[in-house]
Amino acid sequence: MNLQQVKQRFGIIGNAPLLNRALEVAIQVAPTDISILVNGESGTGKEMIPQIIHQLSSRKHGEYIAVNCGAIPEGTIDSELFGHEKGSFTGAAGSRQGYFEVANGGTIFLDEVAELPMQTQVRLLRILETGEFIRVGASKPIKTNVRVVAATNENMQRAIASGKFREDLYYRLNTIPIYLPPLRNRQEDIHLIFRKFASDFADKYKMPSIKLTADGADLLSSYSWPGNIRQLRNMVEQLSVIETSREIDAIKLAAYLPKEGETTPLVVGGKQEESFSERELMYKFLFDMKKDLSELKKLVIEMVNQNGSLIRKALEKHRGKRKYASEELGISERTLYRKIKEYNLSE
């Protein structure tokens, strides 16, 4: 299966060189049983790599199990991965197979692998070296034949240096490294992905697809996307559902992007810049001005409603007698009469 066929089959959008390289490596190593470590920022779509590898391998008819290592409590992760025997810990009413036993002959994807506790790392290393593991509370080793693909968004060298991750396990997992680039390094792909998401949500919510104006497309491409594809997808869904107009300009788009102080520095040519680009600052200024005008309008309306309510109450209290109502409000009868007309109040 070639690169374009893989993109079509797995719904992958884009032609950025770093993306293509990652996919080419995944296709090349899929028929082997080599362990893979996928590295990339959160939200870059790392989970698609193990799916491609599994489906293009001889294990495609076996189990595929994805495990978020950071979402399982430390006290139960060994049981989840390797199983346990009855009575091995409080609450273990019966024996249980772990993921490595269930996935025998298949593939396991260990997402956020850097979050594994040290004791679990030792068990995982044994599986990679010998193909054996021991259930929690047991003494007899069990054989398994599982392909391991792991992923992380951490700097693994830093994790090793700090004692958080075993160096020997890292090299076992990192036999073939695959790097997924952040969205900001795929500028030529961003608008393509936007259009794909816009089309998907138009179908999902039975409404016309949103489209970007020229300045909206410029902002989309120049933004740093700290949350990567996941952030872009969420934003397109929000725009599709909330905005009544199907045409999205830069001011509308800016309302759905993190404000100043919440945005990570832009990356231009591989170097971080500590401030917004001039274009982003301009969009930010226009959006804030629009927001301030909207809030001022709301405040004026509230004040008008409040004043009208006071005048109505004074008139009701004095049974429509403007003289007494004006005295209570501290205004002249002439002003009161004008206010009655202004607020369209009946006496």
CA separation for the pair 104, 127 (Å, rounded): 12
pLDDT exceeds cutoff 90 at 147? yes
Contact yes or no for 216/33 (Cβ under 8 A): no
The alpha carbon torsion through 82, 85, 90, 91 (nearest 10 deg) reads: 90
Domain boundary residue, one of 157, 181, 205: 181
Contact yes or no for 149/96 (Cβ under 8 A): no
Domain span at 300: 295-342
Tokens of 15: 């032609």
Across the range 108-132, mean pLDDT stands at: 97
- The closest of 74, 289, 33, 291 to 176, measured between CA atoms, is 33
| Model confidence pLDDT, tens digit, residues 84-102 | 998 777 777 788 899 999 9
12 with 30, same domain: the answer is yes
pLDDT exceeds cutoff 60 at 272? no
DSSP state of 107: E
Across the range 278-287, mean pLDDT stands at: 53
Domain boundary residue, one of 181, 214, 238: 181
Query: Residue 59's domain is classified under what CATH number?
Result: 3.40.50.300
Across the range 287-292, mean pLDDT stands at: 59
160 with 44, same domain: the answer is yes
Is the alpha carbon torsion for 313, 316, 322, 328 positive or negative? negative
Domain boundary residue, one of 151, 181, 211: 181
How high is the mean pLDDT of the chain?
87
169 with 195, same domain: the answer is no
What number of other Cβ atoms are within 10 A of residue 271's Cβ? Answer: 8
Residue corresponding to tokens 């792991």? 150
139 with 189, same domain: the answer is no
Tokens of 141: 């080793």
| Model confidence pLDDT, tens digit, residues 318-343 | 887 888 877 877 788 788 778 787 77
Residue 306's pLDDT band (boundaries 50, 70, 90)?
Answer: low
CA separation for the pair 270, 181 (Å, rounded): 12
118 with 246, same domain: the answer is no
CA separation for the pair 279, 284 (Å, rounded): 9
What number of other Cβ atoms are within 10 A of residue 164's Cβ? Answer: 16
Residues in the chain: 347
To the nearest 5 percent, what fractions of the chain are helix, strand and coil? 50, 10, 35
137 with 247, same domain: the answer is no
Residue corresponding to tokens 């160096």? 167
9 with 156, same domain: the answer is yes
Q: Which is higher by pLDDT, 259 or 213?
A: 213
Contact yes or no for 250/214 (Cβ under 8 A): no
pLDDT of residue 212: 97
160 with 198, same domain: the answer is no
172 with 252, same domain: the answer is no
What number of other Cβ atoms are within 10 A of residue 213's Cβ? Answer: 15
Across the range 131-144, mean pLDDT stands at: 94
Residue 45's pLDDT band (boundaries 50, 70, 90)?
Answer: very high
The count of domains in the chain is 3
pLDDT exceeds cutoff 50 at 271? no
94 with 195, same domain: the answer is no
CA separation for the pair 283, 212 (Å, rounded): 15
